[in-house]
Homo-oligomer: A and B are copies of this chain.
């Protein structure tokens, strides 16, 4: 209810502030008997963690996940899976200067107003550090979903946009560069661009796209819990996200029905896929694809003016180790959230069997 849980049948509840002793979570509803590859789970965390490349924050965190329950002899037992990720690199003293002030476009102000006070060390609960727990749960969901393939990649950084549909890309190349853009030439340009932005102490936004293949027909529920509605909520719940579109998306709103309708082949597949693999909120077996817009990170390594609790105007100097562009690290988070949504509907669909 208070917003720290996601999913109905495959349910993740998380806790943890950026500068507390640890983050953690509980996965409730994971079916029994799933053989877990624990190394693969840690690898997903490593894709997200800070300090992994030259274009992300240089803060170092091992982000090692420890499981406390729900796994026995290498398999899930069907009971709740508890896990913990310790915070090892909390420099609380970095943050005392913001105790009584509000950073622009951060959650400082609204937390203080909503809760009466806040854990002002770093972002507290509003820090994107929280997404580490999502990646753990998403990695388990991926292993449960087996043949369903979820691949996210960076499709734009600032105004640099990869103007190719995913069908013309080799998505396996996304992980070969630090930007996580499957087009090498574009990736190289983006990398240079991000470094330039960082050198100015500035940040820039971007877009992560995601493709899901081998989806069975029938995932998603009609009316309020449409598959794309839950995917949308999942993506919009990631820090810094400003928009979501799937299939033809916003461009689809400019089209005629006679162009947009996806004609059937005799096997039930469709000749085009403007629907984005979802019709009436239910997967139709075609590829699901969607895009997620991220705003530029609000923390700048620049001077800026802001206010304190009493409304006094202050001049502040951003410092610390922050991401100039969030999208490379957001790629595994987008995949994780997609996996959580699919896991939930996968389990729910068993009821119809």
Residues of A within 8 A of B (CB): 1-6, 8-9, 11, 13-17, 20-26, 28-29, 31-33, 66, 68-70, 72-73, 75, 77-82, 84, 102, 104-107, 109-111, 113-119, 124-126, 130, 156, 158-159, 197, 202-207, 217-218, 221-226, 228-230, 232-234, 236-237, 239, 242-250, 252-268, 270, 274-276, 279-284, 293-300, 302, 304-307, 311-313, 347-353
- Among candidates B9, B15, B126, B204, residue contacting A26 with C-beta atoms closer than 8 Å: B15
Chain B nearest CB from A1 CB (Å) reads 5
Chain B nearest CB from A11 CB (Å) reads 6
> What CA separation (Å) do A16 and B24 show in the bound complex?
14
Chain B nearest CB from A214 CB (Å) reads 16
Chain B residues, Cβ within 8 Å of A224: 3-6, 237
Cβ-defined contact, A206 with B253, below 8 A? yes
Chain B residues, Cβ within 8 Å of A66: 21
The 7 closest A-B pairs by CB, nearest first: A107-B280, A3-B221, A243-B245, A15-B82, A203-B257, A3-B225, A233-B233
- Among candidates B2, B242, B257, residue contacting A245 with C-beta atoms closer than 8 Å: B242
Chain B residues, Cβ within 8 Å of A283: 110
Chain B nearest CB from A210 CB (Å) reads 14
Decide: A257 near B33, CB < 8 A? Known: A68-B20, A111-B282.
no
Cβ-defined contact, A17 with B79, below 8 A? yes
> What CA separation (Å) do A251 and B257 show in the bound complex?
26
Cβ-defined contact, A109 with B32, below 8 A? no
What 6 new A-B contacts, CB under 8 Å, besides A15-B80, A16-B68, A104-B270?
Answer: A2-B221, A15-B68, A104-B264, A224-B237, A229-B234, A229-B237
> What CA separation (Å) do A218 and B107 show in the bound complex?
11
Cβ-defined contact, A261 with B204, below 8 A? no
Cβ-defined contact, B256 with A24, below 8 A? no
Chain B residues, Cβ within 8 Å of A25: 26
> What CA separation (Å) do A31 and B117 show in the bound complex?
12
Decide: A16 near B297, CB < 8 A? Known: A26-B26, A78-B115, A107-B282.
no
Among A159, A218, A222, A255: residue with most chain B CB under 10 A: A222
Chain B residues, Cβ within 8 Å of A33: 115-117
Residue of B nearest to A275 (CB): B105
> What CA separation (Å) do A339 and B204 show in the bound complex?
33
Decide: A119 near B72, CB < 8 A? Known: A31-B351, A253-B207, A296-B256.
yes
> What CA separation (Å) do A124 and B70 show in the bound complex?
9
Cβ-defined contact, B1 with A14, below 8 A? no
Chain B residues, Cβ within 8 Å of A229: 232-234, 236-237
Cβ-defined contact, B351 with A218, below 8 A? no
Cβ-defined contact, B82 with A305, below 8 A? no
Among A70, A104, A276, A347: residue with most chain B CB under 10 A: A104
Cβ-defined contact, A293 with B68, below 8 A? no
Cβ-defined contact, A125 with B258, below 8 A? no
Cβ-defined contact, A4 with B80, below 8 A? yes
Chain B nearest CB from A347 CB (Å) reads 5
Residue of B nearest to A218 (CB): B114
